[in-house]
């Protein structure tokens, strides 16, 4: 398809979902800051109406049964795929991630793949007891209406992680995208609604107030939330009111440990993408790297070589694989943390400053060495393209550092596999990767511990998590 046709397709998607002229809130292109469209500003009353409609639609959707729902969800995945390029362009502009690399097109591919797996993963009743004492089986039924509240970093993929399993289990869903990335989520939902029955999936584009109302609404049975730990805590409080079940995927500060003897050249590329995927704006990205002193300089040099040859710029340029920060607040966090690390004695190996020649929200991909635990760039979630590298001399020390923060989404160990397998179970994280960081699979459960949240997504565990258990005994 020609570029002009693609632009027209993208504009058609925007026009389907944006607010009428003169209404709504302007949504900027993350790279150029030009206005892309106008996000509708749904109110709390609109949200109440959406929940009422989703509640009314739920029994008939559940009554269709798994097979029929699966068939419809597979058609929804096809619809996403048919619109993938236009959605990827919109996502690229609104979120900032480039089309290429593990970014916008990749995200659309993941949406279709996850939805198909959600649709086709078998969920069998479990016979718990079947003997002379009696019979008991465990089933999972729909919970009711699911409230899905998402972040701005992987808005479509995380949206599908919340929507796909919920619909498959017979729930209806009201989704509230992040106020930073509403248009791409509204557009994807519109595409899915070409094949879904009415009111089974409703998107409400509101702000934090709408999110708070969705989480606390008396008719919401389950909240799927991905976002910051601070907001997660508020949702836990509001669940005291409606007793909604919660899956909370919260912030992370994933540590990577490079063991003595690791091959710096062999791991450099994967270390890079582990840390810089989506320009560092990824929950389970490598956010602090502990490297043994015997190979520290080699690893730093190999990683710097990858950073320096990686093209960054406007996401619609096919050559780029890194983009801007999505918003000013996040840009300011990254700048503050890098400046603070330098003031604390850290040495910038590469990058270290904004890149205004590329645009207002671009920051050079940055490596900082000679920092230690206690420096804010290490201790706080930077959520951007700046990786602190910490030298260690004893693996025990690195394990203690990795476990020393109140975050536990992911972690990784790099080097000899047998040695890594000894370290992995000692790390306090929901997932520990070996010689990779951040790889996900739609059948492999994913979730955090400590302040990174609770509950599992993906696979059979993810289906159960959006259902309610029922035991039939006798």
Is the CB of 408 or the CB of 415 nearer to ligand NAD? 408
Distance CA 186, CA 46 (A): 15
Rounded to an integer, what is the distance from CA 389 to the centroid of its chain? 24
Least separation in angstroms between CB 386 and ligand NAD: 15
Distance CA 88, CA 106 (A): 9
Residue nearest ligand NAD by beta-carbon distance: 211
Distance CA 94, CA 117 (A): 27
Is the CB of 30 or the CB of 295 nearer to ligand NAD? 30
Is the CB of 172 or the CB of 178 nearer to ligand NAD? 178
Distance CA 289, CA 295 (A): 13
Q: Name the DSSP letter for residue 436.
A: -
Count other C-beta atoms under 10 Å from residue 198's C-beta.
11
Distance CA 216, CA 198 (A): 24
Least separation in angstroms between CB 98 and ligand NAD: 18
Least separation in angstroms between CB 238 and ligand NAD: 7
Rounded to an integer, what is the distance from CA 142 to the centroid of its chain? 24
Is the CB of 176 or the CB of 391 nearer to ligand NAD? 176
Please work out, in degrees rounded to the nearest 5, the angle formed at the alpha carbon of residue 276 by the alpha carbons of 226 and 156.
35
Is the CB of 147 or the CB of 315 nearer to ligand NAD? 147
Least separation in angstroms between CB 383 and ligand NAD: 6
Is the CB of 115 or the CB of 210 nearer to ligand NAD? 210
Rounded to an integer, what is the distance from CA 459 to the centroid of its chain? 16
Of the candidates 62, 85, 94, 249, the residue annotated as catalytic is: 249
136's enclosing H/E stretch is strand 134-142
Is the CB of 70 or the CB of 205 nearer to ligand NAD? 205
Helices (H) and strands (E) in the chain, counts: 16, 18
Residues at the contact surface with ligand NAD, assessed by CB under 6 A: 149-153, 158, 176, 178-179, 208, 211-212, 215, 226-228, 231, 234-235, 249-252, 283, 381, 383, 409, 448
Distance CA 167, CA 146 (A): 9
Distance CA 105, CA 171 (A): 28
Size of the chain, expressed as the number of residues it contains = 474
Least separation in angstroms between CB 179 and ligand NAD: 5
455, 239 contact by CB (below 8 A): no
Between the alpha carbon of residue 382 and those of residues 253, 276, 288, 333, 370, the distances in Å are 8, 11, 10, 7, 17
Least separation in angstroms between CB 474 and ligand NAD: 40
Rounded to an integer, what is the distance from CA 182 to the centroid of its chain? 15
Distance CA 137, CA 148 (A): 30
Residue 397 annotated to the active site: no
Q: Name the DSSP letter for residue 322.
A: B
Least separation in angstroms between CB 389 and ligand NAD: 20
Place of tokens 């050249």: 265
Is the CB of 61 or the CB of 225 nearer to ligand NAD? 225
Both tokens of 176, joined, read 């509230």
Least separation in angstroms between CB 154 and ligand NAD: 6
Count other C-beta atoms under 10 Å from residue 394's C-beta.
10
- Determine the angle formed by the axes of helices 3-17 and 182-192, rounding to 10 degrees: 90
Catalytic residues: 249
């Amino acid at each position: 398809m020609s570029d002009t046709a693609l632009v027209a397709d993208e504009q058609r998607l925007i026009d389907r979902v944006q607010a009428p002229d003169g209404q709504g809130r302007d949504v900027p292109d993350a790279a150029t800051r030009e206005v892309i469209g106008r996000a509708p500003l749904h109110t709390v009353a609109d949200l109440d109406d959406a929940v009422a409609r989703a509640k009314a639609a739920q029994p008939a959707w559940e009554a269709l049964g798994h097979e029929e729902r699966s068939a419809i969800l597979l058609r929804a995945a096809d619809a996403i795929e048919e619109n993938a390029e236009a959605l990827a362009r919109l996502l690229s502009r609104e979120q900032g991630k480039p089309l290429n690399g593990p970014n916008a097109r990749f995200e659309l591919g993941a949406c279709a793949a996850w939805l198909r797996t959600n649709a086709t993963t078998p969920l069998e009743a479990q016979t718990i007891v079947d003997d002379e004492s009696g019979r008991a089986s465990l089933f999972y039924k729909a919970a009711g209406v699911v409230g899905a509240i998402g972040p701005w970093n992987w808005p479509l993929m995380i949206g599908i992680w919340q929507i796909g399993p919920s619909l498959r289990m017979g729930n209806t869903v009201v989704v509230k995208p992040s106020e930073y990335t509403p248009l791409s989520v509204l557009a994807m939902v519109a595409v899915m609604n070409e094949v879904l029955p009415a009111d089974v999936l409703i998107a409400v584009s509101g702000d934090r107030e709408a999110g708070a109302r969705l989480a606390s609404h008396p008719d919401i049975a389950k909240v799927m939330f991905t976002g910051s730990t601070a907001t997660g805590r508020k949702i836990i409080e509001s669940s005291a009111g409606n007793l909604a079940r919660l899956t909370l995927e919260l912030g992370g500060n994933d540590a990577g440990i490079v063991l003595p003897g690791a091959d710096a050249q062999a791991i450099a590329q994967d270390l890079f993408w582990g840390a810089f995927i989506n320009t560092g704006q990824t929950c389970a990205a490598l956010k602090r790297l502990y490297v043994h002193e015997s190979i520290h300089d080699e690893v730093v040099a190999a990683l710097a070589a990858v950073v320096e040859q990686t093209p960054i710029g406007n996401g619609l340029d096919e050559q780029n694989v890194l983009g801007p920060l999505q918003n000013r607040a996040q840009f300011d966090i990254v700048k503050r943390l890098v400046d603070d690390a330098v003031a604390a004695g850290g040495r910038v190996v590469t990058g270290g400053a904004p890149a205004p020649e590329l645009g207002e929200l671009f920051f050079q991909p940055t490596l900082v060495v000679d920092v230690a635990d206690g420096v804010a760039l290490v201790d706080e979630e930077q959520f951007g393209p700046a990786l602190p590298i910490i030298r260690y001399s004893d693996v025990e020390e690195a394990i203690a550092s990795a476990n020393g923060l109140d975050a536990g989404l992911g972690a990784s160990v790099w080097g000899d596999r047998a040695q890594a397998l000894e370290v992995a179970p000692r790390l306090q994280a929901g997932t520990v990767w070996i010689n990779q960081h951040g790889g996900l699979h739609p059948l492999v459960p994913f979730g955090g511990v400590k302040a990174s949240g609770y509950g599992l997504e993906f696979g059979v565990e993810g289906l159960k998590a959006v259902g309610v258990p029922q035991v039939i005994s006798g």
